Amino acid sequence: MYSIGEFSKITGLSVKTLRFYHEQGVLKPTCVDDQTGYRYYDAAKIETARVIRALRELEVPLNGVAEILKNHEDEGDVLVFLERHRQAIEQKLRQLTAIRTSLDRIILQQREARVAMQNATFQVQEKVVDSQVIAGVRMKGRYSECGKGFSQVGRRLGRYINGKPLLLIYDTEYKEEDADFEACMPVSRETSAEGISVRRIEGGRCVSLVHQGPYEELGRSYQKILDYVKRKGYRLRSPCREVYLKGPGMIFKGNPKKYLTEIQMLIEE
């Protein structure tokens, strides 16, 4: 017979835990001294304790452990139980994996936003953009509605997104009410999904300007870039693009004054 302290050392369960298991009826001492209240455990209880530890290490809840210990005669019951438990674990795993994916996305976004901030000159520049595969939803209405398009793409093709959201603007003049645009996400795969157009868009030489500030103030930057185009005498290829380098985050809307948006206008060579 072992005292609770001895039994604790043997089994690796803390004294507090052993008392708790007694209280819960999961692991009862072999006998209790009714004078002192001391708990005593015999050698056979060591095996029970081992079983409990094994099950707890598998994160089987205590009442499950109790149940298994009660009718562990039928090994089939245990198997069914373990399969159910496996399902529960699997469920948690899926949930946590989804969380990790979201966190990765958020962290990456933040990092990229920083890099974009460091690299931005806020001057009109000429550069070459690569051709890329995008998934887009064509919309008509107000620009402020574009979020719906982005989230539609995100829901369907979330796991394939590998770049910043961009807007293709098909109007050649600014329209408030009935604008014609496409909310796009660069994706790694040419998967198809209903209501979403997945395709490759061309690259090429373009005039680019990074705009800092709220979207309502984009007009100023458009003016700057168009002045430049006119000065150079370039001819533009529609559609114009807005790339959202840094916008409202998934957690914080953030400060609109810090939003970064790159306007890209492809030019004919």
Q: Is 51 in the site for a copy of itself (CB under 8 A)?
A: yes
Which partner, DNA, a copy of itself, none, binds residue 102 by CB below 5 to 8 Å per kind? a copy of itself
Nearer to a copy of itself, 67 or 180 (CB): 67
Catalog residues that contact DNA under the rule CB under 7 A. 3-6, 8, 14-17, 19-21, 35-39, 56, 61-63
Give the binding range for a copy of itself (CB under 8 A) out of 21-29, 31-39, 95-103, 119-127.
95-103
Give the binding range for a copy of itself (CB under 8 A) out of 92-100, 169-177, 184-192, 223-231.
92-100
Nearer to DNA, 66 or 129 (CB): 66
Q: Which of 157, 151, 156 is nearest to 187 (CA)?
A: 157
The angle subtended at Cα 56 by Cα 51 and Cα 62, nearest 5°, is 95
Amino acid in position 109: Q
3-state secondary structure of 228: helix
From residue 188, how far is each of 17, 46, 54 by CA, in Å? 51, 56, 43
Q: Pick the binder of a copy of itself from 217, 254, 264, 267 (CB under 8 A).
A: 254
Q: Is 55 in the site for a copy of itself (CB under 8 A)?
A: yes
Residue 191, judged by CB atoms within 10 A of its CB (0-12, 13-18, 19+), counts as middle
Count the residues of the shown chain that bind a copy of itself, applying the rule CB under 8 A: 35
Note whether 6 and 38 are within 8 A (CB).
Answer: no
Q: Is 200 left (phi over 0), alpha (psi -120 to 50) or beta?
A: beta
By CB under 8 A, name the binding residues for a copy of itself: 47, 51, 54-55, 57-59, 72, 75, 78-79, 82-83, 85-86, 89-90, 92-93, 96-97, 99-100, 102-104, 106-107, 110-111, 250-254
